[in-house]
């Protein structure tokens, strides 16, 4: 897959590997590898991964197709919040891709799961997605449930389909909300002008997001967000559509304030954390709730805003 993007005024000064990582949903390591191999260029020339972007630079990226090779286990540390014979709940760090894809063959959650759990994962998702019931974005941190057998996978998938699995997030958005909470109900589909992005489109799939204000800052708002549906980039697209993009989310309109630019290195992407997951255990029928505290980078950003 080959594509090119032009650098906007707001992206001037960003490292080229960070730019490629954010726009093409790759890890920094994968982006750096493409630059090293000459598969990514700036204005037609090869550059180092720490090249600082200039306005109107043209970034061309040629992502090779997924190789038909076995996904290999990797000894990557995992935060396993809960585990039994049927499920595991993982607290995914920011920056980790969930499953292998073009440009992300290594270092994913799946690679780590294969190392820690071996063949004790459901096979419904195929070789590339063993155990994966649902995803969260690379730069979103927090909780997701893994199925360790096909029986559990089918039950959990039904739970997602019929909204019996609750996923709640902490989201830091740009701007001040007039209300203390609301529901956004707008259909989401592929952006017709940029197929790597999602957008509000008339013929998109139903998407419903509920949010509640939990803390207000000067120019920013911390929200508790609950998903009723689970579309790709749903929270990011919905909040952007009402004029309040996520802090640090340069893909959907964030990253433009002075505070965000000053704290770009801490943010490293959108300020979104999956902090609570509630599900019905597929075998016991018991309702279970898991929580993840805000990661250090998120807490640091909030403390800066409070000061």
* Whether 79 contacts 115, CB under 8 Å: no
Same domain? For 96 and 189 the reply is no
Q: CA angle, corner 249, sides to 245 and 253, nearest 5?
A: 50
How confident is the model at residue 42, as a pLDDT?
93
Whether residue 97 is predicted with pLDDT greater than 80 in this model: the reply is yes
Confidence (pTM)? 0.77
**Rounded percentage of the chain residues whose pLDDT exceeds 90:** 61
Rounded mean pLDDT, 104-114 = 83
Domain edge (last residue) among 32, 62, 92: 62
The 3-state secondary structure of the chain, one letter per residue: CEEEEECCHHHCCCEHHHHHHHHCCCCHHHHHHHHHCCCEEECCECCCCCCECCCCCEEEEECCCCCCCCCCCCCCCCCEEEECCCEEEEEECCCCCCCCECCECCCCHHHHHHHHHCCCCCCCCCCCCCCECCCCCCCCEEEEEEECCHHHHHHHHHHHHCCCCEEEEEEEEECCCCCCEEEEECCEEEECCEEEEEEECCCCECCEEEEEEEEECCCEEEEEEEECCCCCCHHHHHHHHCCCCECCCHHHCCCCCHHHHHCHHHHCCCCEEEEEEEEECCCCCCEEEEECCCCHHHHHHHHHHHC
How confident is the model at residue 179, as a pLDDT?
96
Rounded mean pLDDT, 175-185 = 97
How confident is the model at residue 5, as a pLDDT?
84
Whether residue 180 is predicted with pLDDT greater than 80 in this model: the reply is yes
Whether residue 66 is predicted with pLDDT greater than 80 in this model: the reply is no
pLDDT band at 103 (very low <50, low <70, confident <90, very high): low
Rounded mean pLDDT, 74-84 = 94
- d(C-alpha 278, C-alpha 291), whole Å: 9
CA 77 centroid distance within chain: 19
Exposed/middle/buried for residue 114 (C-beta within 10 Å: 0-12, 13-18, 19+): buried
- d(C-alpha 100, C-alpha 107), whole Å: 8
Catalytic entry in 137, 150, 180, 203: 137
Whether residue 187 is predicted with pLDDT greater than 90 in this model: the reply is yes
Rounded mean pLDDT, 72-81 = 92
CATH number for position 240: 3.30.2350.10
Whether residue 74 is predicted with pLDDT greater than 70 in this model: the reply is yes
Domain edge (last residue) among 11, 30, 62: 62
Same domain? For 98 and 174 the reply is no
Question: In which domain, by residue range, is 52 found?
Answer: 2-62
Same domain? For 79 and 50 the reply is no
Same domain? For 147 and 230 the reply is no
Please indicate, yes or no, if residue 284 is contained in any of the structural domains: no
* Residue with more model confidence, 175 or 164: 175
Whether residue 68 is predicted with pLDDT greater than 70 in this model: the reply is no
How confident is the model at residue 105, as a pLDDT?
65
Q: CA angle, corner 159, sides to 155 and 163, nearest 5?
A: 170
Whether residue 129 is predicted with pLDDT greater than 90 in this model: the reply is no
**Rounded percentage of the chain residues whose pLDDT exceeds 70:** 94
How confident is the model at residue 59, as a pLDDT?
92
Please state which of the ranges 102-111, 147-156, 227-236 shows the lowest mean pLDDT: 102-111
Same domain? For 301 and 174 the reply is yes
Same domain? For 188 and 302 the reply is yes
Please state which of the ranges 57-61, 66-70, 210-214 shows the lowest mean pLDDT: 66-70
* Residue with more model confidence, 135 or 3: 135
Active site residue 137: yes
How confident is the model at residue 246, as a pLDDT?
98
Same domain? For 187 and 132 the reply is no
Same domain? For 33 and 57 the reply is yes
Q: CA angle, corner 200, sides to 104 and 243, nearest 5?
A: 100
Whether residue 284 is predicted with pLDDT greater than 90 in this model: the reply is yes
What total of structural domains would you count in the chain? 3
How confident is the model at residue 123, as a pLDDT?
81
Specify which of 92-106, 121-135, 194-208 reaches the highest per-range mean pLDDT.
Answer: 194-208
Same domain? For 116 and 131 the reply is yes
Whether residue 159 is predicted with pLDDT greater than 50 in this model: the reply is yes
Looking at every residue in the chain, the average pLDDT score rounds to 90
């Amino acid at each position: 897959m080959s594509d090119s993007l032009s650098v906007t005024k707001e992206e001037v000064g960003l490292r080229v590997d960070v730019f490629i990582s954010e726009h093409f949903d790759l890890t920094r390591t994968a982006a750096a590898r493409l630059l090293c191999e000459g598969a990514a260029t700036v204005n037609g020339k090869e550059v180092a991964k720490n090249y600082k972007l200039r306005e109107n630079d043209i970034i061309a990226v040629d992502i090779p197709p997924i190789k038909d090779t076995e996904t290999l286990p990797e000894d990557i540390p995992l935060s396993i919040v809960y585990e039994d014979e049927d499920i595991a709940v993982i607290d995914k760090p920011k920056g980790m891709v969930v499953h292998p894809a073009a440009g992300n063959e290594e270092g994913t959650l799946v690679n780590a799961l294969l190392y820690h759990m071996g063949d004790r994962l459901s096979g419904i998702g195929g070789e590339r997605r063993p155990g994966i019931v649902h995803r969260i974005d690379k730069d979103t941190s927090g909780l997701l449930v893994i199925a360790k057998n096909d029986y559990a996978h089918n039950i959990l998938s039904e739970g997602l389909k019929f909204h019996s699995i609750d996923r709640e997030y902490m989201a830091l958005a740009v701007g001040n909300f007039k209300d203390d909470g609301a529901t956004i109900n707008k259909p989401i589909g592929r952006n017709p002008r940029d197929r790597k992005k999602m957008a509000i489109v008339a013929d998109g799939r139903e998407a419903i997001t509920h949010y509640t204000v939990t803390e207000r800052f000067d120019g920013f708002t911390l929200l508790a967000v609950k998903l009723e549906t689970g579309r790709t980039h749903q929270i990011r697209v919905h909040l952007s559509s009402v004029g309040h993009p996520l802090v640090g989310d340069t893909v959907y309109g964030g990253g433009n304030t002075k505070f965000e630019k000053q704290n770009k290195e801490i943010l490293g992407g959108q300020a979104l954390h999956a902090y609570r997951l509630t599900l019905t255990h597929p075998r016991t029928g018991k309702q279970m709730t898991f929580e993840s505290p805000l990661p250090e980078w998120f807490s640091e950003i909030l403390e800066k805003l409070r000061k």
